[in-house]
Amino acid sequence: LDSDDVHEDAAGDTIARGIAGDGVSVRPPSGGHWPIVADWRGVLSIDTDRLVRINELEGPCVYSFYDGQVVETGEVVARAKIIPFAVSRRVLSDVESILGQPSGAVHVRPFREYRVGAVVHESMGERALTRFRAAVTEKIAWFGSTLGTLAVTPPDVASIVDAFETAARGADILLIAGTKAMDLLDPTFAALDQIGARMIGHGVPAHPGSLLW
């Protein structure tokens, strides 16, 4: 090594710990890579601009999952390495300058705990309703939330408005199932108008699920 060189072991560890922010930890190196793992289940937040600038330097290499990706506890979300056997101290200084304050370019934001209410049209039938309750309970529990009141309603405007009010008590989020989403005359949409709700989007580019609103 030249007098200004930093061995890849020390340099890789320094860069990995520099890019690791809240919600992630640096694991011991394996095969020349420093794994960066999620401390908890949540949404990955990547400062792509800073990672690109680090990767444009001679020697450092940092790669990750996509920004906004949902990750699991203990999952490797990024890795850092040094491509050559050593880098100059100037490169490490440049990395430090790019990261600045607050440090960290890779974070995992934990899911917030919510109380979820639900409104279901009685046309689903008892068996479908039982499956719905079980499925929704399991899905929202994965995100750290709990199912509160589940209101079953006949398909008329006044009843749906009442069901909205019942299910919304103590709830942060309200789920609605059983709507005929293709039919803009479905009474659910009229009920939404009555309670002053605003439609943000009707239909999404996903399959299954294009009829979500």
pLDDT digits (tens, 9 = 90+) for 76-123: 999 999 999 999 999 999 999 999 877 799 999 999 999 999 999 887
Round the average pLDDT of the chain to a whole number and report it. Answer: 93
Flag whether pLDDT at 192 surpasses 80: yes
CB contact at 8 A, 90 and 4: yes
| C-alpha to C-alpha distances, 108 to 78, 95, 174, 178, nearest whole angstrom | 11, 21, 26, 34
Kindly report, residue by residue over 179-189, the tens digit of the pLDDT: 888 888 999 99
**Averaged over 67-83, what is the pLDDT?**
97
Kindly report, residue by residue over 126-146, the tens digit of the pLDDT: 888 899 899 999 999 999 999
Cis-peptide into 102, omega within 30 deg: yes
Q: How far apart are CA 39 and CA 36, in angstroms?
A: 9
pLDDT band at 149 (very low <50, low <70, confident <90, very high): very high
Least-confidence region, from 76-80, 170-174, 205-209: 205-209
Flag whether pLDDT at 124 surpasses 80: no
Give pLDDT, residue 103. Answer: 75
Q: How far apart are CA 49 and CA 23, in angstroms?
A: 20
